[in-house]
C-alpha cells in the first residue's frame, strides 16, 4: 500500500511539475540573436517577432549590459500576452538626424496585454538635439524624436523603467485604454527644452503612480481626448508641473474629462497644477471634472493656475477668447511654499467663463505670508481656508 501511495504521489508531482513548465512563459533572450558592436536593433526585432508569434505568454529579455539601439517599431497584434524586460542600459544615437526622421525612437503599438518591465534605462542622449531645438520660435523646425511612443495599447503595464535625456518628449501615450505606469522614472535637466515627461492624448483609463519625473517641460500633460486619468504619488521636479493642455490649438479636439491628481509633490517647478488653453482659435471643446487633491508644493512659482490666455512665443492672437469650457474643477488640500506672492491665478475665458471651480483647504505661503489670488471670469467657491480672489492687474 505504501509503495502504491508513493508511486501515486510521485506521478502527481511529475504531473504538477509538467504543468508548471508548460505554464512558464517562453523566454527570448536577445543574446541569442547577436549584437554586433553592441547594437541590438536587429536582435530585438527578431526576438520580438518570434515572441509575438507565440501562442502562449512570452518574454523578450535584454540582460544587464550597455547597448546601442537605432529607431525601432515593435508592433502587434501578438497572439498572447507579451513582456519586454530590460535590465541593461540602451542608448539612442547622439545625432538626432540618425533616427530616420522618425518622431519616436522606440514605438510599441497595437498590442493587447503588453508589459514593459525591468530596472533598465533608455538613454535618449539628447544633449546634441537640445542645442538644435528652436521649435518654440520656429513652427517649421526639424522633427526631434521622443524616447517612447505607446500607441493603441490595451490592458498594459509599464513598470520599473527609467527614461533619461530624451531628445524631445519622453513618452507619448496615444489611443490607449487601461494602461498603467508605475515606478516609471524620468530624468532630464531643467535646461532641456520640450522634454515633457508623459504626454497623454485620446486615451482612457491611464494611471500614473509611484514615479519620479524631472524634465525641462511639463512633467505630465494631458492633451485632448484624455478621459479617466489618475495621477497618484508622483514627484515632479524640475519641470513645468502637471498640466491639462494646452488645449484649443488644433481643430476637432475631444473633451478632457475625469482627471484625478492626488498625493503628489511638486519641487521647484515653474508651475504646480495647471489648466491651459489657447485663445484666438475657433476650437470648441470642454475640460470638466478635474480634481486636484493632497498636493505638496515646494518653492513652486505658480502653484495653482488656470490660464486661458496661454500663448507662448506670441504664436496666437488674444483678441478673441478661448472657446474651451472649463467646469467642475476642485483644488483641495494644496499646501506648501510658493516662489511668488501670487500663488493662485485663475484667468478664465471671457467668452466661456469657468464654472463650478472650488478652492478648499489651500495653505500656501510666500516668504512666511499667505499667498494672494488673482481671478478673471470665474467666481470660485471657497470651502474652508483659501485666499480670496482679487481683480487681475490692468
User: How confident is the model over 45-64, as a mean pLDDT?
Assistant: 98
Q: What is the domain partition of the chain in residue ranges? A: 218-394
- pLDDT per position as a tens digit, 210-255: 999 999 999 999 999 999 999 999 999 999 999 999 999 999 999 9
Look at residue 25 in the predicted model and tell me its pLDDT.
59
* CATH number, domain 218-394: 2.160.20.10
Residues 6+ apart with CB under 8 A from 297: 266, 272, 303, 334, 335, 336, 337, 338, 364
Look at residue 13 in the predicted model and tell me its pLDDT.
45
240 labelled catalytic: yes
- pLDDT per position as a tens digit, 255-279: 999 999 999 999 999 999 999 999 9
Reduced DSSP (H G I as helix, E B as strand, rest coil) percent helix, strand, coil of the chain, to 5: 15, 50, 40
| pLDDT confidence bin for 390, thresholds 50/70/90 | confident
Give CA–CA dist 105/122, Å, rounded: 10
pTM of the predicted model, to two decimals? 0.91
Give CA–CA dist 277/47, Å, rounded: 44
The sign of the dihedral angle between the CA atoms of 204, 192, 322, 299 is positive
Q: How many CA atoms lie within 13 A of 75 on its CB side?
A: 2
User: How confident is the model over 45-71, as a mean pLDDT?
Assistant: 98
- How many CB atoms sit inside 10 A of residue 131's CB? 10
User: How confident is the model over 363-381, as a mean pLDDT?
Assistant: 96
User: How confident is the model over 383-393, as a mean pLDDT?
Assistant: 79
| pLDDT confidence bin for 35, thresholds 50/70/90 | confident
Look at residue 316 in the predicted model and tell me its pLDDT.
78
Look at residue 181 in the predicted model and tell me its pLDDT.
98
Look at residue 180 in the predicted model and tell me its pLDDT.
98
Q: Which of 98, 170, 199, 240 is catalytic?
A: 240
Give CA–CA dist 252/200, Å, rounded: 17
DSSP-derived secondary structure letter, 22: H
Checking if the pLDDT of 117 tops 80, the result is yes
Beta strand residue intervals within 339-384, DSSP E: 342-347, 355-366, 369-370, 372-376, 381-383
Is the backbone peptide bond immediately before 323 cis, with ω within 30 degrees of 0?
A: no
Residue 233: left if φ>0, alpha if ψ -120 to 50, beta else—which one? left
- pLDDT per position as a tens digit, 148-197: 999 999 999 999 999 999 999 999 999 999 999 999 999 999 999 999 99
Amino acid at each position: 500500500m505504501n509503495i502504491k501511495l508513493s508511486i501515486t504521489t510521485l506521478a502527481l508531482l511529475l504531473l504538477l511539475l509538467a504543468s508548471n513548465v508548460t505554464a512558464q512563459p517562453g523566454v527570448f533572450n536577445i543574446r541569442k540573436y547577436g549584437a554586433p558592436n553592441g547594437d541590438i536593433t536587429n536582435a530585438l526585432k527578431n526576438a520580438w517577432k518570434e515572441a509575438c508569434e507565440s501562442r502562449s505568454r512570452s518574454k523578450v529579455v535584454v540582460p544587464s549590459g550597455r547597448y546601442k539601439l537605432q529607431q525601432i517599431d515593435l508592433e502587434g497584434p501578438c497572439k498572447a500576452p507579451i513582456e519586454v524586460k530590460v535590465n541593461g542600459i540602451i542608448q539612442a544615437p547622439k545625432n538626432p538626424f540618425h533616427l530616420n526622421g522618425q518622431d519616436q525612437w522606440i514605438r510599441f503599438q497595437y498590442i493587447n496585454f503588453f508589459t514593459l518591465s525591468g530596472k533598465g534605462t533608455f538613454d535618449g542622449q539628447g544633449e546634441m538635439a537640445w542645442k538644435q531645438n528652436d521649435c518654440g520660435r520656429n513652427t517649421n523646425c526639424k522633427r526631434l524624436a521622443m524616447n517612447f511612443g505607446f500607441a493603441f495599447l490595451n490592458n498594459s503595464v509599464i513598470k520599473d523603467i527609467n527614461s533619461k535625456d530624451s531628445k524631445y518628449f519622453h513618452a507619448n501615450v496615444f489611443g490607449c485604454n487601461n494602461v498603467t505606469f508605475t515606478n516609471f522614472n524620468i530624468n532630464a535637466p531643467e535646461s532641456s527644452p520640450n522634454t515633457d515627461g508623459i504626454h497623454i492624448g485620446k486615451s482612457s483609463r491611464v494611471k500614473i503612480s509611484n514615479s519620479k519625473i524631472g524634465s525641462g517641460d511639463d512633467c505630465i500633460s494631458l492633451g485632448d481626448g484624455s478621459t479617466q486619468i489618475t495621477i497618484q504619488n508622483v514627484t515632479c521636479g524640475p519641470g513645468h508641473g502637471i498640466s491639462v493642455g494646452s488645449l484649443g490649438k488644433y481643430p476637432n479636439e475631444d473633451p478632457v474629462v475625469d482627471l484625478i491628481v492626488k498625493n503628489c509633490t511638486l519641487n521647484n517647478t515653474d508651475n504646480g497644477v495647471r489648466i491651459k488653453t489657447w485663445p484666438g482659435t475657433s476650437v470648441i471643446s470642454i475640460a470638466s471634472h478635474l480634481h486636484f487633491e493632497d498636493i505638496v508644493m515646494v518653492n513652486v512659482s505658480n502653484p495653482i493656475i488656470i490660464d486661458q490666455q496661454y500663448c507662448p512665443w506670441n504664436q496666437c492672437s488674444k483678441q478673441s477668447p478661448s472657446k474651451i469650457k472649463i467646469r467642475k474643477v476642485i483644488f483641495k488640500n494644496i499646501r506648501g511654499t510658493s516662489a511668488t506672492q501670487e500663488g493662485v491665478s485663475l484667468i478664465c475665458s471671457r467668452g466661456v467663463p469657468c464654472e463650478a471651480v472650488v478652492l478648499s483647504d489651500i495653505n500656501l505661503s510666500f516668504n512666511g505670508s499667505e499667498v494672494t489670488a488673482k481671478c478673471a471670469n470665474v467666481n470660485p467657491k471657497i470651502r474652508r481656508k483659501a485666499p480670496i480672489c482679487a481683480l487681475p492687474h490692468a
